């Protein structure tokens, strides 16, 4: 039986679905309903579940990780994620995405070069990411330095997540995972571009 827990922390609802000490899917939202809705949409077909009010120690630890990542802090991501029902390609994309460090972003195209497929295929995996924000799909943006989309609340939520992850880095890096190389750039570049190009960036209060 799959167990689902929700918790409101500082005005944001976090949700986690667990089974046998593994995280099946996670979510967050402005309301309990929105967080639960995302969780339910990611459940494997025909899997029975129950929503419980008192989380186990494992579920509580998972929710704490969600909140830590959401706050832009460095988190211990030593959680067992249930990926058995995911495709091989999805696993590859999520694994390399999980390697993007706090303070940096990468690109749909860069990930597709590293694992195969197309930028659109990578975007589809990001849109269906069952482990937000543990696997940081918010750190994947378009090659023109625009944010792209974000299924867990929209571009504004993605922007706020990235704002909290600023570390003052100034240089790009190349990270390696399982022999594949991925270019990452400081998040500040994306934030500056978004602020400059946003339609409300130059609006003044009257």
Catalytic (active site) residue 137? yes
Measure Cα distances from 185 to 19, 56, 139, 168 in Å. 36, 38, 10, 11
Q: How far apart are CA 106 and CA 78, in angstroms?
A: 22
Q: How far apart are CA 197 and CA 173, in angstroms?
A: 25
Q: How far apart are CA 137 and CA 100, in angstroms?
A: 9
Choosing from 137, 141, 185, 191, the catalytic residue is 137
Q: Where are the beta strands (DSSP E) in the chain?
A: 2-9, 12-19, 22-29, 49-52, 104-107, 140-141, 173-177, 180-186
Q: How far apart are CA 164 and CA 116, in angstroms?
A: 31
Helix boundaries (H) for 128-173? 155-164
Sheet hosting strand 104-107, strand order edge to edge: 140-141, 104-107, 180-186, 173-177
Q: How far apart are CA 166 and CA 148, in angstroms?
A: 19
Give me the active site residues, please. Answer: 137
């Amino acid at each position: 039986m799959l167990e689902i827990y929700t918790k409101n922390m500082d005005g944001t609802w976090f949700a986690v679905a667990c089974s046998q000490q593994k995280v099946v899917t996670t979510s967050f939202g402005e309301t309990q309903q929105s967080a639960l809705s995302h969780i339910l949409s990611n459940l494997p077909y025909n899997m029975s579940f129950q929503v419980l009010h008192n989380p186990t120690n494992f579920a509580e630890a998972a929710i704490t990780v969600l909140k830590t990542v959401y706050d832009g802090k460095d988190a211990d991501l030593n959680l067992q994620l249930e990926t058995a029902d995911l495709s091989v390609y999805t696993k590859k994309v999520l694994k390399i995405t999980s390697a993007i460090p706090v303070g940096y972003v990468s690109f749909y195209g860069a990930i597709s070069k590293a694992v195969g497929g197309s930028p659109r295929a990578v975007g589809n995996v990001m849109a269906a990411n069952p482990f937000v924000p543990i696997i940081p799909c918010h750190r994947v943006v378009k090659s023109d330095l625009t944010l792209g989309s974000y299924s867990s609340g929209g571009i504004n939520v993605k922007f706020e997540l990235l704002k909290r992850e600023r570390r003052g880095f100034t240089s790009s890096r190349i990270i390696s995972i399982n022999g594949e190389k991925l270019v990452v750039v400081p998040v500040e570049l994306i934030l500056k571009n978004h602020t400059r190009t946003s339609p409300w960036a130059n609006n003044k209060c009257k």
